[in-house]
Chains A and B, each alone.
Chain A
Amino acid sequence: MATQQISQEGISQKFFANVVQERGVWKVNAENMHYRELNTLLRELDSLGAKHVELTNVYGQRYLGTDLKTKMKIDIYGTPGNDLASFMDGPSIEVHGNAQDCTGNTMNSGQIVIHGRAGDITGYGMRGGKVFIRDDVGYRVGIHMKEYMENKPTMIVGGTAEDFLGEYMAGGILLVLGLNLKKGEAHRARYVGTGMHAGIIYVRGEIGNLGKEVKKMEIDDEDLTIIKALVKEYCGYFDKDFDDVMKGKFIKIVPYSHRPYGRIYAY
């Protein structure tokens, strides 16, 4: 397919060498680009109304996807740096590889699909949008996710998570599937949901060591409907078998109260 050097109006000249447009997709070679330059370029493409951007040779550039106004689609090849999609509001990002730490930090809306694992502190303070991670995530994931009316963040993790999952959660949905655990192996995360006061964590498989503010419960029909819809989406992105996944046993983790620390202070 012919690559055409279409007139790059609206893009700074210094970026010309890195960008080609090919059948409606803007292809950016991020090699040796500093994250500030890369993000500036993304903003310029954004203001031009670019619908679909592909980044290649990404090695650790941070803050990709921040501060974009449209709902553009960004495909990332390589390893994006920390704080991917932090404060993101709208765009849809697909990572063809692993992501690092702080992905989706205070994300407002939009979507992230990761064909691999994500690191620590994923989804910190998420306020909306959806994050799909094929494999495992690290420590302190889903901290202080929050929701209001229709703004409800969702995170689906295909593998397992480490300690402090859903700490201080105040809203939203966290679903952990544990698909790569061995038979009979339980999720090993500890201190799950400590300080949680709203929101729901669904877990497929066995999980122990919960924070003292939360309890395990059986799921009901409404939960099942939600879970099925999310699993369907997950399987679609990562080519997994829906029925296989749904064979597992799901439970939910919810907080005891909205005000877990009300009694701890004295006059």
Chain B
Amino acid sequence: MNLDNRLVVNPFGHDKDFAGCSIFGMMSLEGNRFGSKDPVKAISNMHERSNGLGGGFAIYGIYPDFKDYYAMHIMYLSKDAKQRTDKILASCFNIIYDEELQTKPANVIDPPIIWRYFVEPKKNRPKDQTPDDCVLDAVMRINTETGKAFVFSSGKDMGVFKGVGFPEDIANYFCLEDYEGYLWSCHGRFPTNTPGWWGGAHPFNILDWTVVHNGELSSYGINRRYLEMYGYKCTLQTDTEVLAYAVDLLMRKQRLPIKIVSQILASPFWAEIDQMEPKKRVVLRALRQTYGSLLMNGPFSIIVAHHGEMIGLTDRIKLRPMMAATRDSMLYLSSEEAAIRLVSPNLDKVWSARGGEPIIGRIGNKTAVQNQSKMEIE
């Protein structure tokens, strides 16, 4: 099936145009799975925001038959790397099933081999190591020890498909028309700091956490050093990597709720904190004192997803765009409103994110919460 739903190919050449990255998220709040048509159409509409050096998708709910196993998508740049990786996998996991990801010819640049494994952690792992930690450990090992293998995703019943090409071409390459999921997050990349390479495309992932990001983290140097103290190794040469690890550390390991986490990643200013009522002031001050090195400085808008939740967040002075909208039980997040309108011309509610306040879509919740103001859907 040939999907040709981006704007007419620009006949004037791409060199002069540049913009930032584009992000798009779409989630059925009832958990109903849907296909690639709308997400791909929307992200392609924002073609101007990327330069063809990266595109990617995270899709949740795509492996219903294997949903109790961790689905690992791993990229190999050499045969050796696969051998070394297979050794690591075999030592940590029982491999239930594995195969190369299905692809077809498309306009993408230098694709590496990408393999898919369904695994479960072996019973003989250290007693205090949870299955999740076992997978985290294996991922760090693969990313650092094999030299040329990198894990794209490692969560259950979800997967990341990404590479060097426009998002619509990536979707084509990975035959995304064959998949259905209840949450899609998409990204089109315009890299400036690092060369376009398959590992550097978004979404970034650890376990079932994915992050797509528009912007640049001026705090990356310290975010990274703080996370390294907790065993996360940043190998993918892109600042967004720290966001994925930060949410894993804060939300999974330390069990902090998203509202608190967004107050860590996008803290209010001291001037505001000083004006708050005492109990709240104590909490927010302690958050900044303790987690100051995880403050994400610099312009950003991100979509963080994991099973059951899609979260949109911008930096506290909203230097990057993020629009949200709902239609029936579908929640949309996007860099530009036009992309949402293209796939859903009639919308129930449309609103713009506010700096530092998360927009949270949760399965079963008819409310897409934006911190202070709750947007009722039904």
Mark A residues whose CB is within 8 Å of B.
Answer: 32-37, 58-62, 78-82, 97-98, 100-101, 117, 119-120, 136, 138-139, 162-164
The listed residue (A36, A80, A98, A101) touching B321 by CB distance below 8 A is A101
- In the assembled complex, how far is the CB of residue B350 from the closest CB belonging to chain A, in whole angstroms? 7
The listed residue (B48, B338, B354) touching A162 by CB distance below 8 A is B354
Determine if A60 and B336 form an interchain contact, defined as CB atoms under 8 angstroms apart.
yes
| B8 close to chain A: CB less than 8 A | yes
Identify whether the interface residues of A are mostly helix, strand, loop, or mixed. Answer: loop
Known: A117-B352, A139-B317. A33 touches B8 (CB 8 A): yes
A-B contact pairs, 20 of them (CB 8 A): A32-B7, A32-B8, A34-B8, A36-B12, A59-B45, A59-B341, A59-B342, A60-B48, A60-B342, A78-B341, A79-B337, A79-B341, A80-B338, A81-B338, A82-B336, A100-B321, A100-B337, A119-B352, A120-B321, A138-B318
**Complex alpha-carbon distance, A105 and B260, angstroms:** 37
- In the assembled complex, how far is the CB of residue A185 from the closest CB belonging to chain B, in whole angstroms? 11
Size category, B interface = 20 to 34
Determine if B318 and A163 form an interchain contact, defined as CB atoms under 8 angstroms apart.
yes
Q: Which residues of B contact A82 (CB under 8 A)?
A: 336
Q: Which residues of B contact A97 (CB under 8 A)?
A: 341
- In the assembled complex, how far is the CB of residue B349 from the closest CB belonging to chain A, in whole angstroms? 12
Q: Which residues of A contact B336 (CB under 8 A)?
A: 60, 79, 81-82, 100
Tell me how many residue pairs across A and B have CB atoms closer than 8 Å: 71
Q: Which residues of A contact B10 (CB under 8 A)?
A: 34, 36
| B368 close to chain A: CB less than 8 A | no
Q: A-facing mask of B1-26, CB < 8 A → 1, else 0?
A: 00000011111100000000000000
Known: A60-B46, A60-B339. A37 touches B8 (CB 8 A): yes
Q: Which residues of B contact A136 (CB under 8 A)?
A: 352
| B312 close to chain A: CB less than 8 A | no
Q: A-facing mask of B323-350, CB < 8 A → 1, else 0?
A: 1000000000000111101100000001
Closest 5 pairs between A and B when the two form their complex, measured CB to CB: A60-B338, A79-B338, A59-B342, A59-B338, A79-B341
**Complex alpha-carbon distance, A101 and B339, angstroms:** 14
| B355 close to chain A: CB less than 8 A | yes
**Complex alpha-carbon distance, A139 and B318, angstroms:** 7
Determine if A59 and B339 form an interchain contact, defined as CB atoms under 8 angstroms apart.
yes
Excluding A34-B11, A100-B336, 12 further A-B contacts by CB distance (< 8 Å) are A32-B7, A32-B8, A35-B7, A35-B48, A59-B339, A59-B341, A62-B48, A100-B338, A117-B350, A117-B352, A162-B318, A163-B318
Q: Which residues of B contact A100 (CB under 8 A)?
A: 321, 336-338
Determine if B355 and A163 form an interchain contact, defined as CB atoms under 8 angstroms apart.
yes
Q: Which residues of A contact B9 (CB under 8 A)?
A: 34
Determine if B7 and A34 form an interchain contact, defined as CB atoms under 8 angstroms apart.
yes
Q: Which residues of B contact A81 (CB under 8 A)?
A: 48, 336, 338
Q: Which residues of A contact B317 (CB under 8 A)?
A: 139, 163-164
Determine if A98 and B8 form an interchain contact, defined as CB atoms under 8 angstroms apart.
no
- In the assembled complex, how far is the CB of residue B113 from the closest CB belonging to chain A, in whole angstroms? 35
**Complex alpha-carbon distance, A100 and B350, angstroms:** 12
Between A37, A58, A97, A139, the greatest number of chain B beta carbons within 10 A of the residue's beta carbon is seen for A139
Determine if B338 and A139 form an interchain contact, defined as CB atoms under 8 angstroms apart.
no
- In the assembled complex, how far is the CB of residue B375 from the closest CB belonging to chain A, in whole angstroms? 14
